[in-house]
Structure 1
Amino acid sequence: MKKINIVGTSGSGKSTVGQRLATKLNIPFIEMDALYWKPNWQEPSDEEFFAHLATALQQDRWVLDGNYNRTVAIKWADVDTVIWIDYSFARTLFQAVRRAIVRSLGQKEIWANTGNKESLRKTFFSKDSIILWTLKTYKKNRTRYQALLDDPNYSHIQFVRLTSPAKVDAFINQMSVD
């Protein structure tokens, strides 16, 4: 495994798993949200975002976390492994809520040089709520990733589906640096 994409619904733990795996394999970790979000929660054009992503993926080895379905052609062009964090709905929702509360109360900048911080108002009382996003996308993401797993166009990719934190731990613990 040299080029790995971690996917899963918001709140599933993609970044945490990605950072752990990158550390274990001693390869760069790339967070798609950090490439995407601009200061003050501004969104880039697709052209700008795709260019940032393509540049970041020019390395020989990496662990990339993130879905962004419209980037599949870019991020899966050279990927050899896709790890799907597919926890139960209850577990994923719990993690999303916990993360949102911790971020809101901590008021730490999420991505360097953006000034972007979570707030309780945005988390619980906004149409842009990450919790609402998790609720809306959980089932759709599971359906989509199962279809991609079965799609012969991606038969060259090793798909790994991890359904619990214990399975994530076992998977990462059995990894070795090449």
Structure 2
Amino acid sequence: MRYRIALIGSSGSGKSTLAMDIGKKLDIEVWHLDAILWKPNWILTPREAQKQIQSQLVSRKSWIIDGNYQSTLDIRLEAADTIIFMDMPRTLCLYRVWKRRLMYHNRSRPDMQSGCKEKIDLQFLKWIWDFPRKKRPQLQQKLADLGMDKQIITLKSPQEVKRLLDKLKDQV
């Protein structure tokens, strides 16, 4: 069976973890955009190269891709058959980002490019805090504008994530 799943949402919402869990359950390769688009020492791949990389990824038969990257989001949304919007509370996202920072202090996390040591700064925390007000409405509008042939799943709590994973387990 063919699956093309895009996971979007705030940093700390659980995109990468859910992508890995779904990938294991459905035996589909997972692509973490953070690991692909960031080079060592936090150097971001130029936008044109980002577009080329993602166009190649979405041309595959099946895939799971997690990441935001608003400037290239349409590539993934148009190619996906399923979009999972991780619409978690900002306090949970902030907690998870702090926890992740402590867990991976002075090293790269598994879903990140080697050479990108886990870090937090005020700008990043502000981005997460402002996500519900600034980014969520844009994402919701993009999702509303998509065709009816897309399955859009919005998850608002860890309990809803667990229910989705349990449902997948029952189907596989």
Give the TM interval when normalised to the shorter protein. 0.7 to 0.9
Within-5 A mapping of 1:87-102: 87-102=88-103
Aligned partner letter, 1:76: L
Q: What is the distance in 1 between the residues matched to 2:56 and 2:144? A: 29
The aligned counterpart of 1:162 is 155
Aligned-residue RMSD, C-alpha: 1.8
Partner of 1:109: 108
Give runs of aligned pairs for residues 40-55 of structure 1, distance below 5 A.
Answer: 40-55=41-56
- Cα separation, partners in 2 of 1:99 and 1:138, compared to 1, 3 Å: farther
Checking the alignment, whether the CA contact within 8 Å between 1:96 and 1:130 is kept in structure 2 is: no
* Residue aligning to 1:2: 3
Asked if the contact 1:38/1:44 (under 8 Å) is kept, the reply is yes
Indicate if the aligned counterparts of 1:81 and 1:157 stay in contact, CA closer than 8 A. Answer: yes
Partner of 2:137: 143
Match of 1:40, SS state, is coil
Q: Deviations over 1:61-116 (max 9, x none)?
A: 11110111111232123210100111122212211221122222xx332334x411
* Contact 1:83–1:161 (Cα < 8 Å) also in 2: yes
Aligned length: 167
Once structures 1 and 2 are overlaid, which stretch shifts more, 157-166 or 95-104? Answer: 95-104
SS of equivalent residue, structure 1 residue 137: helix
Shift of 1:133: 2.5
Q: How does 1:64-143 map to 2 (within 5 A)?
A: 64-104=65-105, 107-110=106-109, 111-112=112-113, 114-119=114-119, 123=120, 126-127=121-122, 129-143=123-137
Give the % identical residues: 29
CA displacement, residues 126-164 of structure 1 (integer Å, 9 cap, x when unaligned):
45x53233123342222122222322x443321101111
In structure 1, C-alpha distance between the alignment counterparts of 2:143 and 2:55, rounded to whole Å: 23
TM-score (norm: length of structure 1): 0.84
Q: Distance in 2 between matches of 1:18 and 1:134?
A: 20
Contact 2:90/2:128 (8 A) holds in 1:
no
**Deviation per residue, 1:7-45 (Å, 9 max, x gap):** 111111100111111111111101011111011111121
More displaced, 29-38 or 72-81?
A: 72-81
* Structure 2: runs of 5+ lacking an equivalent: none
